[in-house]
Amino acid sequence: MSWISIKDALPEIKHTKDGAVNFVLLWLDPAPDCGANYMIANTEWVHGHIIGAKPYVHKSWFTHWMYLPKSPKQPKGE
């Protein structure tokens, strides 16, 4: 996995059968005063903030993103 610039592409929004949506890791630069340089967000939220300019998170903070890895599989019987 590698970082993708939001100038190059936005993450694809993928819905599961139960209506859930996929998540991505975002890189923010500069970091907000009250947080870190990274955050996990669902792709609908990302599109709404980068394209829709929601007021409480400045869209210029988002510079890169990457898909999250698949979750670990539990051995059967545990």
Mean pLDDT, 10 residues at a time, the chain of 78 residues: 90 89 88 80 80 56 88 79
Task: Answer for the pair 43, 14: CB distance below 8 angstroms, yes or no.
Answer: yes
pLDDT at 58: 56
Residue 8 neighbours by CB distance under 10 Å: 7
pLDDT at 5: 92
SS3 27: strand
SS3 26: strand
pTM score > 0.85 for this model?
no
Ranges of each domain in the chain:
4-67
